[in-house]
Structure 1
Amino acid sequence: MGQRNSRVIPVNDGAVYDHHPSTPPTPDTDKAEQHFHPCDEPPVDAGEGDAQRREEEERREAWGEEEEEMKKKRKKKFWRLPSFLKAARKHLKVIRPSQTEVQLIEPPSPASSADDDIMCRYELGDRLGVGGFGVVHEASRVEDGLKVALKDVMKTHDMEYLTIPGHPNPLPVEIALTLLANKGPSAPEIIKLLDWQDQRDNYVMVLECPSPCENLVSFLEGHGGRLEEGLVRHIMRQATRAAHTCCRRGVFHGDIKLENFIVSKDTLQVKLIDFGCGDLMRKSAYTTLYGTMEYYPPEYRVKGKYHAKSAMSWSLGVILFTMLCGRFPTDNDLQKTELNLWSEPGLSKDCCSLICSLLQHKTKRRLGLGKILQHDWFQVLSLRSATFAFVV
């Protein structure tokens, strides 16, 4: 659940976007409501007697009841928030070397009132996952009982914002990129954002939640650590479409890995999730990578820079290798893929060829993202593989 430098980036309608730094709008100053306090009352003359004292006691009792009611409202609102917010403040550490501490920032818009709080519209269920800055719960929408996934992310001092068409205020980058990735014809391979709210200390995203579902790491574990080739082909076709669709819509996901794909146990439909480490697509090279080390392309380790599409091809190659072999590729494996000599018992020649085409150190020799689905491995689907894919 990554967050980056604090800046506002405008998004134009073109395919490639330019960045420029700015500052999120400062929220309006909260106005404190003034309450009558007994200590501020004028002194009571001695000659006014018991009536005056009774009036004073009644005012104090009324003030006490008002204060108690306010405390109850504050307590009620606090417990509507996921408990991770309280815990996160005890561990203000980050997982990226470029950062030193986490601090809460001012939001680009005023915090919502209690009546507008998005948490009032959903009932939280079991926790689905937790990351460095947030937590995901199962939830149901109060008005119709729709099952959703509710993601609550704590803001940091260097959180990044984007401005995108149709939204006048800057949005947290994860919200903005998820909206952009879904802009256009429906893409079933990308998670849909159903509702969201940007609050003062955190932002909340309400996402579709296929049920029952699990990420590909859990799916692998449930199948003994590796999958049959036909089933992997079915999964990789969807994963590749998701990555390619994001690129065509100007979104660089930035963290393509097993954990960021969920699969429905009933239909085997795959969806790409978590755009928190993403960025806007650009033709120039990136020099910062917020993803996961095991999926880093070799050019980033060697030169400290990489291009989005070739990096995503490498990450898809690692996913393909891991699902088929039950492990990450070793240096010895990568030496063989570089020479197009890698093979694995039980795998088809076309499958081994695709892995070699993706896990090439030189980006010019690496299979492009738009050509992966044109590879021979995706063109031939045996009856046995197709049946296996939908029965497992």
Structure 2
Amino acid sequence: MTTRVIDNQWKLDNAAWSLPPPPQLVQSKNNSPLHSFGDYAYPKSDRLTPTYMGNNFLEFHKLYSDRSSITPKPVTIPNANKIIKKTFNREYRTLTCLGKGGFGHAFDGRRRSDNSPVVVKFLPRDRILNWGTFDGKRVPYEIEILWRLRGVPGVIKILEHFEEPDRYIYVMEKIPNSCTLFDFVMKSSPLANTELLRHIFNEIVRINVTLQMYGVWHRDCKPENIIYCKNDRSLRFIDFGSAAPVQVEDFHEFQGTLEIMVPEWIVQRRYNGEKACVWTIGVCLFFLLYRQYPFRTKPDIVKGRSNLANIAAMDKDAYHTMKQCLNGNENRRPKLNSLQYLPWLNITY
């Protein structure tokens, strides 16, 4: 029911004809519940000034014959139709370079309106291999993925993106008191046999399981592409430039780096998404234990020969899991989901 509030001067008995017509319900173009008041359109009334209540007909005729005296003139607003286009340089500024990859560069940045810290990534158009769609427009698949996963725990949050003639730019949240997992591990004391090792490994597994549920393989999961927050020990995956949709068939193209390359790609030019994901998790666990990557060359990857000695005695359970994930026979690697339920991940100290 619609309630109309009417001023007292319209309630006079001898002016019942002067009541404004009721509002008409029209179709609104705004779907937001916060703007539901726009669903009602009030018809234009010829009486936008107080109703004439006098008894002299000549005065009434004089008043309404000269409409210019009661009709307000339209106000002209300079540049009312000029739309200021939102551009990256108008909204943000960049500071130091945070890193360079095969597909783009990341910079520390600030939002000009409130000086809030952000991370900015520049993607040259000629280096984009995977394309997707967002808001009806063709965009790099990385941008589509970040918008689709926005708000998912463990994934860096995108704030907005811009398209320029020669590049795409997207702006991400800046995690306070954070660094890459690579830098954190290299500067920390050894993690073997620690609760922190179990926590970090468990988070890496959990985020990959979540991505699988959302139909995405990261395909470049390594410590450089994981942000570690020192405040709450949470992780965020970044750099989805190699990401691909989950599919039943094998992949027949590889995007990533040598550090996480699977042996079946080198030998057979194909790999299964889940089994390759488990391999990269094993690479991450190896790095958490040794502070180095397990393989340096393709022959070492194929032969399964790492450059470090056996440290099973140092952290037996973690070492056993790592060896299972890095099994050269893909069919003998554990299932991704099963890695969440390893008994040693629940050990406390």
- Assess if the C-alpha contact under 8 Å between 1:239 and 1:271 holds in 2: no
Give 1:315 deviation, angstroms.
0.3
Asked if 2 retains the 8 angstrom alpha-carbon contact of 1:314 and 1:359, the reply is yes
**Hey, what's the Cα distance between the residues in 2 that align with 1:157 and 1:131?**
11
Q: Does residue 149 of structure 2 align to residue 181 of structure 1?
A: yes
Compared CA separation, residues 345 and 236, structure 1 to 2 (3 A): same
What is aligned with 2:212? 247
Q: Deviations over 1:244-280 (max 9, x none)?
A: 1111111121211111001112222111000011112
Equivalent position of 1:213 in the other structure: 178
- Hey, what does 2:79 align to over in structure 1? none
Match of 1:172 in 2: 140
In 2, the alpha carbon distance for the partners of 1:219 and 1:140 equals: 24
CA-based RMSD of the aligned residues comes to: 2.6
- TM-score, normalised to structure 2, is 0.68
If the length of structure 1 is used for normalisation, what is the TM-score? 0.61
The match for 2:201 is 236
Q: Which amino acid aligns with 1:178?
A: L
**Distance in 2 between the 1:344 and 1:291 partners?**
29
Q: Aligned pair 1:150/2:120, yes or no?
A: yes
Contact 1:127 1:137 in 2 (8 A): yes
Residues 77-118 of structure 1 show CA distances to partners (whole Å, capped at 9, x for unaligned) of: xxxxxxxxxxxxxxxxxxxxxxxxxxxxxxxxxxxx984212
How many Å separate the matches in 2 of 1:152 and 1:314? 29
1:141 aligns with 2:111: yes
C-alpha distance in 2 between matches for 1:137 and 1:114: 26
State the identity %.
26
- Residue 330 (structure 2) pairs with residue 363 (structure 1): yes
Shift of 1:360: 1.4
Q: 1:119 to 1:241 in 2, by over 3 A?
A: farther
CA distance in 2, matches of 1:199, 1:357: 46
Q: Which residue of 1 is the match for residue 255 of structure 2? A: 290
Q: Which residue of 2 aligns with 1:123?
A: 93
Which among 259, 279, 286 is matched to residue 321 of structure 1? Answer: 286
- AA matched with 1:235: I
Higher radius of gyration, 1 or 2: 2
The CA deviation at 1:336 is: 8.8
Instruction: Look up the SS of the partner of 2:109 in the other structure.
Output: strand
Distance 1:173 1:345 in 2: 44
Partner of 1:162: 132
Q: Residue in 1 aligned with 2:234? A: 269
User: 1:375 and 2:342 equivalent?
Assistant: yes
Distance change >3 Å, CA 345–CA 311, structure 1 → 2 = same
Structure 1 residue 306 corresponds to structure 2 residue 256? no
Report the 3-state secondary structure (helix = DSSP H, G, I; strand = E; otherwise coil) of the residue aligned with 2:168: strand
Partners of 2:209 and 2:199 lie apart in 1 by 16
**Could you tell me whether the CA contact under 8 Å between 1:181 and 1:251 is conserved in 2?**
no
CA distance in 2, matches of 1:170, 1:346: 51
Give the Cα separation in 2 of the matches to 1:334 and 1:213: 36
**Aligned-partner Cα distance in 2 for 1:293–1:133:** 15
Q: C-alpha displacement at 1:218, in angstroms?
A: 1.2
Q: How far apart in 2 are the matches of 1:149 and 1:114?
A: 24
